[in-house]
Structure 1
Amino acid sequence: MATRLLARRIWSISVKDFRRLPVASLSSSSYSSSLSPSPRPQHFLSCSRSLPLISCRGVSFNVQDHDDFTERVINSELPVVIDFHAQWCGPCKILGPRLEKAIAKQKGRVAMAKVDIDEHTDLAIEYGVSAVPTVIAMRGGDVIDHFVGIKDEDQLDSFVKKLIGQ
């Protein structure tokens, strides 16, 4: 158990460190040969094999720790939908892809943070999550709306549209 926690801590630190590195500093012989001469935007790095927890579409991301949550959710310029879920939760496995689809329809006007309640119990307690799946809509650090349980695609679309003000 302690080894697993230590490995998880090391992994979360290394992901945050890689996210802050400029593109040129990640060059290795095999990686640099695939880079074009012109600099790439930072978000393209998320599609590399070294960062599997970050979505290549830029639509959703897994929260690594409380500081990451503060940086990428609370201080986000975009509205953020937060999906509190658990690996063992059946409805969460159904809701997750539906929610990602609703977010993707907005084409970058809203982001989605995924918070595993087993890994981030402190965040679940802080936001009053007592059942999963719980979804919270946040804009400018303020909670706008939330729901608990599973929803169909139309309900999710209207939930997201309400967040972005449509």
Structure 2
Amino acid sequence: MAHRIFLRRIVSLSCRELPGISQSHFSGLRQSLTTLCNHSSTVSSAQNSLLHSSRMFFTSAFCRDSFIVQDGADFNERVINSDKPVVVDFHADWCGPCKILGPRLEKAVAKQNGKVTMAKVNIDDLTDLAFEYEVSAVPTVIAVKNGNIVDKFVGVKEEDQLEAFIRKLIGG
């Protein structure tokens, strides 16, 4: 209970109250903490010990294979220059289908046991990236391998379709 109160206090802070943190980084941190607060009552004891032993905040059991893109430079470094294939989820907080697709994608990526990673791009925060990759609707998912786009889809897909999309990306 004390952890939830602490997390809610952090989420309620404004960027001005945390010197040295950029607005985009703060937004990603706030989103992660909000998700954690909302799901903390359903966290198992094993997940809870993992949360306390790690310096990272996990929003789900699958989060270790995914990350939130902070800016264009971060995208280039972690997606375009990645040694692993990357599934990029362009989404928005206000998008209902995005909220359905996101957890399905995380689950499908987690099943690959580290062979692929997932990047999450909020189009409201990173509009330039959305324009650059011709995202005209959300959710849009692109598959990047060796710095090149190899596949793309728009909309919600079933879990078996997502797994096939990812297997095709990793060549399995």
| TM-score with structure 2 setting the length | 0.69
Q: Which residue of structure 2 aligns with residue 140 of structure 1?
A: 146
Percent of pairs identical after alignment?
60
Q: Which has the higher helix share?
A: 2
Task: Give 2:129's match in structure 1, choosing from 117, 123, 126.
Answer: 123
Q: Is the 8 A contact 2:24 2:70 kept in 1?
A: no
Deviations 1:41-99 (A, max 9, x none): xxx9x942xx5488774210000011110100000000000000000000000000000
Query: Structure 1 length as normaliser, TM-score?
Result: 0.71
How far has the Cα of 1:131 moved from its partner? 0.1
The 1:128/1:11 distance shift into structure 2, 3 A limit, reads: closer
Residue of 21, 25, 47 corresponding to 1:12: 25
From 76, 90, 97, the equivalent of 1:84 is 90
Q: d(CA) in 2 for partners of 1:121 and 1:143?
A: 19
Structure 1 window deviating more from structure 2 (51-60 vs 128-137): it is: 51-60
Q: CA RMSD in A?
A: 2.8
Hey, what's the Cα distance between the residues in 1 that align with 2:159 and 2:80?
A: 26
Name the CA distance, whole Å, in 1 between partners of 2:59 and 2:68.
7
SS for the counterpart of 1:58 is helix
Counterpart of 1:59 (choices 49, 57, 65) is 65
* Deviation at residue 160 of structure 1 after TM alignment: 0.2
After the TM superposition, list the runs of 4 or more consecutive aligned residues in structure 1 that deviate by more than 3 angstroms.
51-57
Contact persistence 1:83–1:113 (CA under 8 A)? yes
Quick one: which amino acid aligns to residue 104 of structure 1? A
